[in-house]
Structure 1
């Protein structure tokens, strides 16, 4: 049986979103011979905080760590993973039907592609789904280095890093997620982009929840000394890997 590992960091304010994320996971239909495991990592907890109804499913594997932020929690969850593919899923987001199957099918049919991303729909507080775009690329292969070149001039990733699915081996060579207070998902995407071709799936692969408590709503997310340090760290890592 082939395995795809779903990696989800969560902190206390987002625990209430997990049942909806789980519903999206259980609605997935995977290709024959595949199954999933869900590695929930509670940042600043021990895993016992995960809603009890989720723990009846043996595929749900909670744990925790000393508070270290989202990058640390993601890497700790990944450290427990056993799948040949690793899929990111934030606690407050939802996978629409077919998302995992599309990731698997692309990576199994394109052996030189190391990772996938996809189109996103924003999930608004009203429940409405709104198309999110930074100028989506065309469906198909994303040549190595193309996204990083765009990010270098705009500091915007061109595709949504919250949709990432990556080969376990490639993620290991990238070193997992950087220990940043935010943008750790963009940092990983830029690292992967300079290491291997990717693939953009022109079908919505994520319902990205918009709410006031999300990390991207913080005042330091897009400007100031913290932002400059994050951008510099991302660049140093990607440039070193590119060389």
Structure 2
């Protein structure tokens, strides 16, 4: 049975909206024959969310017990994902019920490697605000989205917080980019530079706005220009490698093969 892995980096101090996020996942519909797992990695030196996820049968929870930051935390979750497709999801955002029945078929019908639907902004009072897309919907050729972003001062028309991706492709590109801010943007820039994707006009998720978001802090604003510059630089670099991925439709989906490792065998003692 093909599997889609939802990947979430969680943090107890900012988990106010996590119950709503979990309730929304419970309500999502899947194409016939598909299953899902929710792979959660908690960041922070004092993890507190294990009990919350223990009652969710399809949740795969773990915590490193140290502060690593969102990019490294997401990548630790990625090591435990088994699905042929990944669904990125922040702990405060909302997936709408039709997201998987809308987006997964695009991977069967087309040789794409990423897909995303349109989002409404979810405001603090619970109301939804439409966000008009500055680019057309539909099939996106490699490099198309980045061309728009560069012409618009390094502002992307597609938000990477709810991307659906081919797991193998994403791993080949190194997962989430290990930078302190805009890690999902730098990843998306590299992916969309060399792979076709699909931008669906259906509203498939809600992007929550609230006062505690990291991007509202002075530190995040200071790092934003560097993060967006890295994203454009990475797009140029990955194209220069000549890396390509198949543009043929997937046909039968095959889940990721489990990889097991043992203890380190090299002797690292300091004795003579």
Quickly say closer, same or farther: Cα 1:38–1:239, change in 2 above 3 A. Answer: same
1:58 to partner: Cα distance: 2.4
The 5-angstrom pairing of residues 168-187 of structure 1 reads 168-187=167-186
1:221 to partner: Cα distance: 3.4
| Equivalent in the alignment of 2:130 | 131
> Quick one: distance in 2 between partners of 1:135 and 1:232?
20
Please say if residues 50 and 62 of structure 2, whose CA atoms lie closer than 8 Å, have aligned partners that are also in contact.
no
1:123 to partner: Cα distance: 0.8
Please identify, of 67-76 and 49-58, the stretch whose mean Cα deviation from structure 2 is larger: 49-58
1:16 to partner: Cα distance: 2.9
Quickly say closer, same or farther: Cα 1:41–1:107, change in 2 above 3 A. Answer: same
| Equivalent in the alignment of 2:165 | 166
> Quick one: distance in 1 between partners of 2:196 and 2:7?
22
Write the deviation string for residues 132-161 of structure 1: whole angstroms up to 9, x where unpaired. Answer: 2351422x2011100111222321111121
| Equivalent in the alignment of 1:36 | 36
Question: Structure 1: which 5+ residue stretches go unaligned?
Answer: none
Please say if residues 9 and 41 of structure 1, whose CA atoms lie closer than 8 Å, have aligned partners that are also in contact.
yes
| Equivalent in the alignment of 2:187 | 188
Question: Structure 2: which 5+ residue stretches go unaligned?
Answer: 241-272
Please say if residues 38 and 60 of structure 1, whose CA atoms lie closer than 8 Å, have aligned partners that are also in contact.
yes
Higher strand share: 1
> Quick one: distance in 2 between partners of 1:19 and 1:121?
19
| Equivalent in the alignment of 2:239 | 242
> Quick one: distance in 1 between partners of 2:227 and 2:118?
25
Quickly say closer, same or farther: Cα 1:55–1:20, change in 2 above 3 A. Answer: same
1:107 to partner: Cα distance: 1.1
Please say if residues 124 and 211 of structure 1, whose CA atoms lie closer than 8 Å, have aligned partners that are also in contact.
yes
TM-score (norm 2): 0.82
Q: CA RMSD in A?
A: 1.7
Quickly say closer, same or farther: Cα 1:150–1:220, change in 2 above 3 A. Answer: farther
Write the deviation string for residues 154-180 of structure 1: whole angstroms up to 9, x where unpaired. Answer: 211111211200001110121101122
SS of alignment partner, residue 235 of structure 2: helix
| Equivalent in the alignment of 2:21 | 21
> Quick one: distance in 2 between partners of 1:45 and 1:155?
34
> Quick one: distance in 1 between partners of 2:22 and 2:135?
27
